[in-house]
Structure 1
Amino acid sequence: MSARARPAAEPPTLVPSLDVAYRFVRHRSSAGRAREVLRQQLQEWGVVGEVVESAQLLLSELVANAVEAEPVEVREVGIRLALSSGCLRVEAVDTNEEQPVSRQAEEDDECGRGLAVVAALADAWGVTPREVGKAVWAELAIPEVAA
């Protein structure tokens, strides 16, 4: 018997990646770009419905915070999207070591509600230290998808 691989009767089915990461230029427009990437990725994974809108809002808040947290000389922020057994995780990655702090925004404040929005929408959220900086993440329970 030959040691060479034999062609399969049918080509293998390609399964899309369920864990992806992207980098964006550190700019106030990064949150919008991240939302678009997330929308496309969720469509590829077969995730539909209200969870898509919630995930976009969560990621937008996390990325906006990451952009603000980065020192001026840092030019990028990162995101990670992961789908596994009924759970979608969105992460924003920055190089700042400081932990995010939720604050009580006044009625006329334009900023300061991001983490309150994350806490209200996410099934879970938190911070994972990294070798440099941190990843702030949020998770949503999702119905089974055909990924």
Structure 2
Amino acid sequence: MQLEIRPDPAEVGRARRWARSRLAGSGIEADEPLAETLILLVSELVTNAVVHTGCPAVLRLSLPDEADESATVRLEVADTSCTAPVPRCADGDETGGRGLALVDGLADRWGWSAEGAGKRIWCELDRGSQPRDAAAAFGGGVTAYGGFEGFAYEAV
């Protein structure tokens, strides 16, 4: 399954809605921790593609069928920019720069590779594994509302 992404910040919300609509057929309920993590990862990777490349991108999602409760969910974003993704160490007051740290903390695996004139960034979640603790993944600071201190995100 794939979705073409225009270089427009409004595409991030559309990508989340698209990914959510694909979950039902895989047996992953929208309120499962895996689904919530997947939607957050979609948001982060699509945001990075839209904001940092200014190029069109393609979001690909590989979901297991309902019967396979130990399968891996794979998310990929391919774009036409040859610039490598660079994880940053954002200061507490910065409003950006935490996306790849979040991907690193929440995904079971992630990476990137050059692809033609661009690149592909991917991450995987193991369906049968325990959800990773968001507080530990992001170095602590999870509030009672499920957000990160000093970091706001919207899951539309």
The alignment's TM-score, normalised by the length of structure 1, stands at 0.78
Name the counterpart of 1:95: 80
Question: Unaligned 5+ residue runs, structure 1?
Answer: 1-19
Larger RCO (alpha carbons 8 Å, 6+ apart)? 1
Aligned counterparts, 1:122-141, within 5 A? 122-141=107-126
State the structure with more CA Rg: 1
Q: Distance in 1 between matches of 2:86 and 2:26?
A: 32
Question: Unaligned 5+ residue runs, structure 2?
Answer: 65-69, 129-156
How many residue pairs match? The answer is 122
CA deviation after TM superposition for structure 1 residue 21, in Å? 1.1
Name the counterpart of 1:23: 4
Aligned Cα RMSD in Å? 1.6
Identity %: 38
CA deviation after TM superposition for structure 1 residue 43, in Å? 1.2
Q: Distance in 2 between matches of 1:21 and 1:51?
A: 19
Are positions 1:104 and 2:84 aligned together? no
CA contact (8 A) 2:6 2:50 kept: no
Are positions 1:77 and 2:57 aligned together? yes
1:89-145 deviation per Cα after TM superposition (whole angstroms, max 9, x unaligned): 1111111111100010011000100000000100000002211201111100113xx
Name the counterpart of 2:43: 60
CA contact (8 A) 1:69 1:94 kept: no
